[in-house]
Amino acid sequence: MKTLTQAEEEIMQILWKLDEANVAAIIDQMPDPKPAYNTVSTITRILESKKFVGYRKEGRGHIYFPIVSKDAYSRATAGKLASNYFKGSYKSMVSFFMEQEKLSVQDLEDILKEINKKEE
């Protein structure tokens, strides 16, 4: 799966939240200062060329919708992070976040509960 730029990912986050939107609706969801309409339109067309979004025509405009789910992108991104920085080891990745104090004991207990659910 292709990697997204920060701007592309910001638009995808909005589309995942809204399920579908035209460029104006995407811009409405963005923080101030709002980007130019043409900028968002260009990024959306790039996302279309990367096969992350599809569209349907509505009137004179387009309604964009995600083709790649947030879950699928999250899995691919996490896998790439583990592969590129932790030699493919999720254990090393979790240890890293523990050492950086990004994970609490409660977080780890929650992770263990999820693991135990999967094993049942």
In terms of pTM, does the model score above 0.95? no
Q: What mean pLDDT value characterizes the chain?
A: 92
- Higher-scoring residue by pLDDT: 19, 75: 19
Q: Residue 48 has what pLDDT?
A: 97
Q: Is the pLDDT of residue 58 over 90?
A: yes
Give the residue-averaged pLDDT of 96-117: 84
The confidence score (pLDDT) of residue 105 equals 83
Distance CA 56, CA 12 (A): 17
Q: What angle do CA 25, 49, 43 make, to 5 degrees?
A: 40
| Residues 61-76, mean pLDDT to the nearest whole number | 96
The predicted structure's pLDDT at residue 102: 77
Predicted confidence at residue 61, as pLDDT, reads: 93
Burial class of residue 50, CB neighbours in 10 A (0-12, 13-18, 19+): middle
Position 99 pLDDT exceeds 80: yes
Q: How far apart are CA 41 and CA 26, in angstroms?
A: 10
Whether CATH 1.10.10.10 fits 6-66: yes
For the chain, which residues make up each domain, given as ranges? 6-66, 70-119
Residue percentage of the chain with pLDDT more than 70: 100
